[in-house]
Amino acid sequence: MLKQYETVFIATPVLSEAQMKEAVAKYTELIAANGGEVVYEENWGLKQLAYPIDHKTSGFYYLIEFKANPEFVATLETQYHRDERIIRFLTVALDKDAVAYAEKRRANKAAKAAEKAE
């Protein structure tokens, strides 16, 4: 049975736009290749870090919501550890309340985007 997860990773700030897209594509393809399904992606952009990590004070934040087998999370996190572009990551399992909140958040974001477009 597939569970829903949310993973956020911080990539090093020295990456170009193309390199960041390549890193994101690597992880979304990894999820799909292991029988998972990407539900939602969101680029949070370049943000200041709360404290320096590896002498870096900022990083590119990226969120991926996905459905996958529980065993896959260990594989994903191993890939994060091996990737020198990723300086921090966090993957959490979403319970039914968190899934409902995430859907509500996406709907609100889509409504705001639609308002701006008008």
pTM of the model: 0.89
Does 112 have pLDDT greater than 90?
no
Beta bridge partners of 5: 66, 93
Its domain, for residue 82, covers 3-117
Return the pLDDT at 114: 86
Element (H, E) at 73: helix 72-82
Does 116 have pLDDT greater than 90?
no
Return the pLDDT at 113: 84
Return the pLDDT at 34: 93
* Domain tally, the chain: 1
Return the pLDDT at 1: 80
Segment 38-56 mean pLDDT? 93
Q: CA-to-CA distance for 73 and 30, rounded, in angstroms?
A: 11
CATH number for position 36: 3.30.70.60
